[in-house]
């Protein structure tokens, strides 16, 4: 099984950006932990981060016929990017939306996800465990 992890805008600033909300781990720390956990499940993982909506769409589209599942943290694009939503819908690859913080316990505008309805799951508020839970879900789906 091969998964693509896609992280959206400002996640490259983890460890610096609002550590009380997002924690002190860097994106590299998170990716290393995901890779360690994925190896336990015999899952190959590729990582991608961009601050640009079109680049994220291009990455999603490049997964078509190449990747078995996508774990995406669309960050701020969660709340308004119909284009990312449509890209996920167009490739028909099982996708799990993840967030480090609990988007339902934050500002009102963060409670709405336009991405959620084209994903098989949405996991938020568990820090790095949001990503690790997504890995587990993909493993269980693949191994019945």
pLDDT tens-place string over residues 14-36: 989 887 877 789 999 999 999 99
Q: How far apart are CA 121 and CA 87, in angstroms?
A: 17
> DSSP string spanning 50-67?
-S-HHHHHHHHHHTTTT-
- Distances, alpha carbon 122 to alpha carbons 41, 55, 102, in Å: 21, 22, 11
Segments forming the whole domain that contains residue 60:
2-142
The pLDDT score that the predictor gives to residue 19 is: 78
Judge whether 99 counts as a catalytic residue: yes
Catalytic residue among 22, 48, 77, 131: 22
The pLDDT score that the predictor gives to residue 12 is: 96
Does 7 score more than 90 pLDDT? Answer: yes
The pLDDT score that the predictor gives to residue 90 is: 98
The pLDDT score that the predictor gives to residue 88 is: 98
The pLDDT score that the predictor gives to residue 17 is: 80
Residue 139: strand, helix, or coil: helix
Catalytic residue among 48, 77, 99, 131: 99
CATH number, domain with residue 27: 3.40.50.9100
The pLDDT score that the predictor gives to residue 41 is: 95
**86-141 tens-digit pLDDT:** 999 999 999 999 999 898 888 787 789 999 999 999 999 999 999 999 999 999 99
Q: How far apart are CA 139 and CA 91, in angstroms?
A: 20
Count of domains in the chain?
1
Judge whether 52 counts as a catalytic residue: no
- pLDDT confidence bin for 52, thresholds 50/70/90: very high
Going by C-alpha positions, the residue among 75, 88, 77, 84 that lies closest to residue 27 is: 75
**What would the two tokens of residue 27 be?**
């994106």
């Amino acid at each position: 099984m091969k998964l693509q992890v896609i992280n959206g805008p400002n996640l490259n600033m983890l460890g610096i950006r609002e550590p009380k909300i997002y924690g002190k781990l860097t994106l590299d720390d998170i990716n290393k932990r995901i890779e360690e956990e994925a190896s336990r499940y015999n899952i190959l993982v590729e990582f991608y981060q961009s601050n640009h909506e079109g680049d994220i769409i291009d990455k999603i589209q490049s997964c078509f016929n190449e990747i078995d599942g996508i774990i995406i943290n669309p960050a701020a694009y969660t709340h308004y990017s119909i284009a990312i939503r449509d890209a996920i819908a167009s490739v028909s690859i099982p996708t799990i939306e993840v967030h480090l913080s609990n988007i339902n316990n934050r500002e009102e505008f963060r409670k709405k996800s336009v991405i959620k309805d084209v994903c098989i799951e949405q996991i938020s508020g568990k820090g790095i465990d949001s990503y690790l839970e997504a890995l587990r879900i993909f493993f269980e789906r693949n191994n019945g």
